[in-house]
Chains A and B, each alone.
Chain A
Amino acid sequence: MARLRGLGGAAFSLAVTLLGLLFVTFIISRVVPIDPVIAIVGERASEAQIETARVALGLDKPLWQQFFIFVGNALQGDLGTSIRTGEPVIQAVTRAFPATLELATLATILGVIAGVPAGVLAATRPGSLADHFVRLVGLMGYSMPVFWLGLIGLLLFYGVLGWVGGPGRLDAAFDMFYEFEVTPYTGMILIDTALAGRWDMFVNAISHIILPAGLLGYVSMAYISRMTRSFMMNELGQEYITTARVKGMPEWRVIWVHAMRNVMVPLITVIALSYAYLLEGSVLTETIFAWPGLGSYITDALLVNDMPAVLGGTVVVGVAFVVLNLVSDLLYRLVDPRAR
């Protein structure tokens, strides 16, 4: 019963947050100094043309009514039409989203693989050289502008060493034929090329994604290792750990089985948060790596003042953010018996 009520509460707060999200974007879109009517009909339109366009856009109605229409449209997946391309924003955004998701997912996986062991290592030897090292590497990850890190990464690993592919998702030679030879089931290039059996493209795609994913993964590792360390320190001070040690249990089992189970609970929230953060952090990274995701879409639209596209992209990132938070909340309940 309590669990149900918890779920109901979570769903309610999700709805309120989403509504708030739409409200904020709506307000932003209405204070925009660029007149959307002029943007459509042009500077030299007659009074009558401007008036027809106003009515067609629904701008003659009172503000609260406009808001309801805006929410109604958004709920039906209509986020407006891009001024730059004339394409519905939702179409462009759904096409771009998988690329961002792919990048953020791979980065999170890399961040967890590196961050959790590093955090555990630091927690089991507090004050040691390893501990300071993990802390410093983590703080450095917090302190680097991610776009600069991307540029330096490109310079070093692509320009100087030539170990990885350059900007874009594929080499130009593959990119030309990609859309003819691979069916975009998921929009994620690694999965689609694997499904199509084009392993040459798959390998090439890996060489392109590994650098941006690795750099974002480093940022995520910084956060995950630090939180893991603090959670693990906390658990290792508990009495059940002492009991386990006194019983003669091997240390690896004490840490990785007994303590880890309890560390997992808060760690899931942290991982979900860093995942959500990567969706955002990818905005700047994508522009550096010419990655055709949501971030590139938003920043390209920004440069030409295409507000419907910017706000539509913002709403989608915001929704992804909120949904991830909800998922972490649900997982939390699942993993932690006390929350049931």
Chain B
Amino acid sequence: MSTLTEWLRDPNPTSRRQAKLGQLWLGWLRLKRNPLAMAGLVIIGLLLVIAAFAPVLATHDPIAQNLQNRLQPPLTPGHWLGTDDFGRDIWSRIVYGSRITLYIIALVAVTAPLIGLMVGTVAGYFGGWVDAVLMRLTDIFLAFPRLILALALVAVLGPGIENAVLAIALTAWPPYARVARAETLTVRNSDYIAAVRLQGAGAGRIIWGHIVPMCLPSVIIRVTLDMAGVILIAAGLGFLGLGAQPPLSEWGLMISAGRKYLFEQWWVATMPGLAIFIVSLGFNLLGDGLRDVLDPRSAAK
């Protein structure tokens, strides 16, 4: 262990990989000092564990109805978070719901940055009218309020998880395009790009092989910061009945089902909301800490 840390701390790295990993190690040390960011990391870790071991952690079948047992309050033996209007165990439903949340996050985290990267790097690399057109397009999408656009898209595509993901991705890409374009502009005229071009590489190869990798770090940070918002929009769509459909235990959908019983059986709507809140807070805390670590301005303090 100590030799590994020494290798990472070596002020005179012998290879490019060692230098890179050393930088990462320093970043990790800085992140570790931030208790809020670590709390966020723990929350996201827990989410992954819960989703992975859902069948073990759930005490009941998430969709098995038991009408004799409906609307039991929390701390009822066997149902520590209570049961909903169909007598389904809320804890088990939340546990299985984590899989849906992760599924949505993962799909959006892959698609939206990809669209943004393509638009941003192409705009930045070619410049001129290509840049003008693509950036104007980005501005138009930015001008649309995200939730409303997603609502309109899902209304057209029809409700369902996949369509919700598509709608969210189509509304989430513009910030990535902005980031990618800015990064592209800074590297576009550097010598190494000129060298590759002189060797005869085409635009596609230069962008994909030499510019996109340079954009990735800032895009990845942006993804972490964005995930909390994605969770909230997905939950909002679910709440309006436009996302996952019953009997799936999507958290937003669970809140909307509990709305009818708000004043008498408060736990039905409260518990899934707490789950959304905690997970979204986890992403926000981690993203906030990451920004502190990676933003050179705040690191100076």
A: residues with CB less than 8 A from B are 13, 16-17, 20-21, 23-25, 28-29, 31-33, 126, 132, 135-136, 139-140, 142-148, 151-152, 154-155, 159, 276-277, 279-281, 283-284, 287, 298-299, 302-303, 305, 307, 310-311, 313-314, 317-318, 321-322, 325
Contact = CB atoms under 8 A, between A and B. Distances in A.
Given A139-B284, A151-B259, A310-B152, A318 B144 contact: yes
A174 to B, nearest CB: 22
Interface stretch (B121-129, B178-186, B210-218, B272-280): B272-280
Interface in B126-184: 136-137, 139-141, 143-149, 151-153, 155-156, 158
B232 interface: yes
Interface bracket on B: 35 or more
Contacts of B280: 142-145
Interface of B: 36, 136-137, 139-141, 143-149, 151-153, 155-156, 158, 228, 232, 235-236, 239-242, 252, 255, 259, 262-263, 266, 269-270, 273, 276-277, 280-281, 283-285, 288, 301
Given A145-B276, A302-B240, A283 B144 contact: no
Given A145-B236, A145-B276, A146-B232, 17 more contacts: A16-B136, A20-B137, A24-B144, A29-B156, A139-B288, A142-B284, A145-B239, A146-B236, A148-B235, A151-B262, A155-B270, A159-B263, A284-B239, A298-B148, A303-B241, A318-B148, A325-B143
Given A145-B236, A322-B143, A126 B151 contact: no
A314 B266 CA distance: 33
A146 B151 CA distance: 16
B149 A314 contact: yes
A31 B149 contact: no
Contacts of A284: 147, 236, 239-240
Chain A interface secondary structure, helix, strand, loop or mixed? Answer: helix
10 contacts: A13-B139, A20-B139, A21-B140, A24-B144, A145-B252, A145-B277, A148-B269, A148-B276, A151-B270, A298-B151
Nearest to A139: B284
B145 A280 contact: yes
B158 A21 contact: no
Contacts, number: 139
Given A20-B137, A143-B228, A148-B269, A317 B285 contact: no
Contacts of B151: 283, 298-299, 302, 310, 314
Nearest to A322: B143
A94 B153 CA distance: 23
Nearest to A17: B143
Contacts of A302: 151, 155, 240, 242
Chain B interface secondary structure, helix, strand, loop or mixed? Answer: helix
B242 to A, nearest CB: 7
Contacts of B228: 142-143
Contact of B235 (A33, A140, A145, A307): A145
B156 A33 contact: yes
Nearest to B285: A139
Nearest to B147: A280
Contact of A283 (B139, B147, B156): B147
Given A139-B281, A280-B148, A325-B143, A307 B156 contact: yes
A299 B240 CA distance: 8
B36 A25 contact: no
Which of A21, A143, A146, A284 has the largest number of chain B CB atoms within 10 A? A143
B145 A279 contact: yes
Contact of A317 (B148, B266, B269): B148
Nearest to B158: A33
Contacts of A318: 143-145, 148
A94 to B, nearest CB: 18
B269 to A, nearest CB: 5
B144 A321 contact: yes
Given A20-B136, A307-B155, A322-B143, A145 B232 contact: yes
Contacts of B269: 148, 151
Contacts of B266: 155
Contacts of A147: 236, 239, 255
Contacts of B284: 139, 142-143
